[in-house]
Amino acid sequence: MAHEAVILNQYAALKYLKLTMNENEALVQIDFRENYSLKYAEEIQSFHFGGSRKQVSLHTSSVIFKEGAYGDIKYKSICFFSENLKHDSVAILAHLRPVFKIIAHIKPKFKALHIVSDSPTSQYRNKVMFFIFGNLLVIFLIFLLRDT
């Protein structure tokens, strides 16, 4: 029951944020997907049933922002593939740098980013990531306000 309540509260908070954010704000949802095994279209039987497959890690991001005279909500989905299967703070920063460049290209007048992830604490919700989001983010996105 507690898990269901968390999901419902998160959904309500995200919906409220999407409705109330202005054109100078963006919502960024980030998460790692599971590691995927690569597969050939046709494989010999021994490889199909016992071969060690290469894996790739997928890092997905969704940028949500308002645009236009009526504040239409726009979505930009981004996905990066990597052979590095680590999901630590260094890997996250490597995946987020191009995301920040894309955000700066989409709209260079954002003043605030709302970054959301429901990943485990070992990935996004730890002291290293709080430092990165609090201090280094303004280096990548120089147009952000320092106190957001």
Mean pLDDT per block of 10 residues along the chain (148 residues) reads 80 89 88 77 66 82 87 90 82 82 81 79 72 71 55
Q: pTM to 2 decimals?
A: 0.76
Question: What is residue 51's predicted lDDT score, i.e. its pLDDT?
Answer: 63
- Going by C-beta distance under 8 Å and a sequence separation of 6 or more, which residues neighbour residue 109? 23, 24, 143
Structure tokens that stand for 9 in this block: 């509260």
In the chain, the amino acid numbered 139 is I
Element spanning 47, H or E: helix 45-50
Domain ranges of the chain: 22-140
